[in-house]
Amino acid sequence: MASETLTAGLQQYRIGQKVRALRKGKKLGLVQLSQHTGLSPGMLSKLERGQLFPTLPTLMRIALVFGVGLEHFFTESQQRPVLAVIRREDRLRLPDRPGTEPSFFFESLDFPVVDRKMEAFLAEFPARSKPTEPHAHDGAEFVYVLQGQLSIAVGDTAVTLKKGDAMYFDSAAQHSYRHEGTSHCSVIVVVAR
């Protein structure tokens, strides 16, 4: 049985609706599609109504009948804007460095969105956490401090941000984070690629 998070993640692709649209577009009934795919009409009906999620081999059988690739079922239509709601209770809290004392914990704020143009995180720096290792990556980064103080070093420049402060920088430059003060620090980090 799929978990609620897994079910919600699969529902966002609307696979059943896409199968129905392909079938209706070719003016096929469930029985006719069944004959082409070898899948029962009952199974196809449950799939189209979102009561059942197909395995990849099952989905491949359907894709072959309509001459589409598997990506057809997992990409957004150009006619519909991408929209994702990420509930607080569905986010996973992860350390920046598994297996050692973390510098911070983070939660992805946009994990279900495929082919993202940016990534957004909530990062929390516990009091007395160690600085992060310097790192670099393509793109740009934006940081907004929700609570506490955070020092960000970019190249040879270090800037301390307080609650309500924001910073934008080219993340191709070596950069690192260091928690300042004795209270908890939380920030929103947006990385654009």
The boundaries of the domain holding residue 65 are 4-73
> What's the confidence (pLDDT) of residue 155?
95
**Positions in the chain whose pLDDT score sits under 50:** 1
**Same domain membership, residue 106 and residue 157:** yes
d(CA 142, CA 104) in angstroms, rounded, equals 17
DSSP type of residue 128: T
- Statement: the pTM of the whole predicted model exceeds 0.85: no
Question: Distance from CA of residue 132 to its chain's centroid?
Answer: 23
Is 16 in the same domain as 103? no
CB 145 within 8 A of CB 187: yes
pLDDT of residue 79: 57
Same domain, 188 and 95: yes
For the chain, count helices (H), then strands (E).
5, 9
Are 125 and 46 contained in the same domain?
A: no
What is the reported pLDDT for 81?
63
Whole-number pLDDT of residue 41: 92
Structure tokens at 124: 């929390």
CB of 155 within 8 A of CB of 174? yes
Name the domain count of the chain.
2
